[in-house]
Amino acid sequence: MPDRLDTSVSCFVVKIWGGKENIYQLLIEWKVCLDGLKYLGQQIHARNQNEIIFGLNDGYYGAPFEHKGYSNAQKTILLQVDQNCVRNSYDVFSLLRLHRAQCAIKQTQVTVQKIGKEIEEKLRLTSTSNEL
């Protein structure tokens, strides 16, 4: 995780674009409030098609899968996409590999910081003993 990433935000905007060649259009613009997401667990299991999943420090989250206030007819016209153009952008195994890689990177960063502090402490002690 970048050092200057602001992790205190409670909401952010997700924009999903789609299209072909050089013609793209905004398909979804979604203001995501973190307190409205549903915890999915530490691992990703089979989910609904085209579901947006967020991998956070303590596991995976997604939107509660319910459409309040819309009839079935209204739901189908919210977003119409040519099904011939739809393809999965991920599968569960690729997301799990990515998650494991992120965990390994984070653990490496923690180890590097720990060793760096130990080196600084030894250098400080060495310079103090040399001054005596």
Model pLDDT for residues 60-85, shown as the tens digit of each residue: 888 876 655 555 555 555 566 677 77
Please report where in the chains the tokens 């579901």 appear, as a residue.
51
- Regarding whether 100 and 61 lie in a shared domain, the answer is no
SS (H, E, C) 68-82: CCCCHHHHHHHCCCC
- What does DSSP assign to residue 61? E
pLDDT digits (tens, 9 = 90+) for 94-126: 788 888 899 999 999 999 999 999 999 999 998
From CA 9, how far away is CA 27, in angstroms rounded? 24
Please tell me whether residues 66 and 12 are part of one structural domain.
yes
> Rounded to an integer, what distance in angstroms lies between the CA atom of residue 107 and that of residue 83?
41
Q: Which structural domain, as residue segments, surrounds residue 31? A: 1-85
In a shared domain, residues 74 and 104: no
Q: Domain count of the chain?
A: 2
* Same domain assignment for residues 77 and 109: no
Q: What is the mean pLDDT of residues 34-42?
A: 84
Q: How many CB atoms lie within 10 A of CB 100?
A: 10
73 and 95 fall within a common domain: no
pTM of the model: 0.43
Domain final position from 85, 107, 123: 85
